[in-house]
Amino acid sequence: MKFLILVFENIARNPVRTILTSLGTMMLVLVVTLVFTVLTTLDKVTTEKSANIKAIVTEKWQNPSLMPYSYAAGLSDGAADPNDPNAIHPQDSMTWGFFVGSTESNPAKRGYENLFFSFIMEAEKARTMLDNIDSLPDEQARPLIEAIKKMKEFRNGVIVGEGRLNKLKKRIGDRITVYGRNYRDVNLELEIVGTFPKETAQYTDSAVINRDFFETELDTYKAAHNNKPHPLADKTLSLVWLRVPDRISFNKMTEQILTAPSFSNPAVKCETSSTGISSFLDAYRDIIWGVRWLLAPACMAVLALVISNAISISVRERRTEFAVLKVLGFLPWQILTLVLSEALLIGTLSGLLSAALAYGVINGVWGGLPFPIAFFPKFAVPINCLWWGAAMGAVTAFAGSFIPAWSARGVRVSDVFAKVA
């Protein structure tokens, strides 16, 4: 413990060097933190759960999945036969369609700022079925609960994420007109009734509109176009989410759905959400591999080199000192430990600071890391990045400083003092 003062003194003797080493460490730990944020999030969502499973029902073949809305009622009940007492009914369900549009009427001026992306769904399901929102305690979900109540009152209500509200420069209570892009010539007059809870950054750019309101709008379209339905009128259902308690129920329900005659044209498939996401991510497997096995190790190697360099320079400059310490009675292993401790201290603290800043800034200011893998809006930096950052800094500092520390340990008193005399 008393040597800790020596360690601190040595680190403080050349503040410029210590700061530069720290900054270099922080930059590289930042890259690895970002990489691990993405990888651990993807690993988590693709890991099969054994209980409280969410299943997704989608069109069997085509991607993107487009099913008729007439499937919704049956699928929401897991295609359970009403006459079968042993049929599995899902504990909860949610249907999704997607309405993508722009608040800008002039097609030439449409861009990212006026983009509108919404889920067409039953509003109350946003509380019970949306990922991360379903696990929030009531106090945190309060804004959404209030918004859902308003959605029942205002059929043309819309719940919009804060990020999107800011970009559109709108507030709760405002009205907006959204010009459909995927549903061409379908324009919706909506009233903003609420927003998502702050704790769920992933929905910050999204919105929710009422399913029955949307279906009514399609009817209006038909009436206005000589009774000709919209080309996508029978393709408004994209996914159906079903909650089941365990794998056995999931397997049984899957069989129910696949054998039900009503869902054969178009045919459907049923899989767990983790399987669904895994399949989707399969296309990115090379990128994920490269990031995991090339980028992250390269950063850590550079980190080790940067620290190693700094410590080597420091050791070279202090050879006389180490010789003096030996004359005073310090043992070689104590000198080794001294140098290693300096490196570990810089590496660990810098790594921790970098991870903490990443956590605070990326989550707090940006709402998460935007990484362009399709429907994942943002990746929240998990809290355990703090210990990875520290650990990474420590491990690379140890690896990088071991050889210079060993060299310091081996300083020969006679060699040093001959030169000085």
Return the residues of window 113-132 that contact another protein according to CB under 8 A.
113, 115, 117
Are the C-beta atoms of 336 and 43 separated by less than 8 Å? Answer: no
**The two three-digit tokens of residue 174, written as one number:** 């405002």
Pairwise CA distance, residues 209 & 214, whole Å = 8
Binders of another protein in range 301-320 (CB under 8 A): 301-303, 305-306, 308-310, 312-313, 317
Q: Minimum distance between the CB of residue 319 and another protein, rounded to whole angstroms? A: 12
Of the candidate residues 51, 173, 372, 420, the single one contacting another protein (CB under 8 A)? 372
What's the distance, CA 298 to chain centroid?
23
Residue 242's Cβ-count burial label (10 Å; 0-12, 13-18, 19+) is: buried
For another protein, which stretch binds (CB under 8 A), given 128-136, 144-152, 365-373, 382-390? 365-373
Q: Does 357 bind another protein (CB under 8 A)?
A: no
Lay out the site mask for another protein across 217-246 (x = CB under 8 A, - = otherwise). --------------xx--------------
Shortest distance, CB of residue 338 to another protein, whole angstroms? 19
> CA 383 → CA 27, 97, 131, 389, distances in Å?
19, 33, 18, 11
Residue 49 DSSP symbol:
P
DSSP assignment, residue 261? G
| Least Å from the CB of residue 315 to another protein | 10
Answer for which of 28, 53, 168, 270 binds another protein (CB under 8 A) is 28
Q: Indicate the angle between helix axes 319-328 and 413-420, nearest 10 degrees.
A: 120
Which residues, other chains included, contact 8 with Cβ-Cβ below 8 Å and sequence gap of 6+?
345
Smallest distance, another protein to C-beta of residue 289, A: 9
Specify the stretch interacting with another protein by CB under 8 A; choose among 104-112, 154-162, 254-262, 386-394: 104-112
252 is an interface residue for another protein by CB under 8 A: no
Pick out residues in 264-283 that bind another protein (CB under 8 A): 265-267, 269, 271, 275-276, 278-280, 282-283
DSSP type of residue 65: -
Among 3, 4, 13, 61, binds another protein (CB under 8 A): 61
Which residues, 141 to 200, sit near another protein by CB under 8 A? 163, 169, 181-185
Contact 54, 283 (CB under 8 A): no
| Residues 377-416 contacting another protein, CB under 8 A | 377-378
367 binds another protein (CB under 8 A): yes
User: What is each CA distance from 283 to 55, 223, 280, 288, 378, in whole angstroms?
Assistant: 21, 42, 6, 10, 19
How far apart are CB 129 and another protein at their closest, in Å?
Answer: 22
Tokens 């549009």 — which residue?
101
Burial (CB count <10 Å: 0-12, 13-18, 19+), residue 125:
buried
Least Cβ distance, residue 204 to another protein (angstroms): 8
CA–chain centroid gap for 219, Å, is: 38
Shortest separation between residue 173's beta carbon and another protein, angstroms = 19
Give whichever of 22 and 148 is closer to another protein, judged by the CB atom: 22
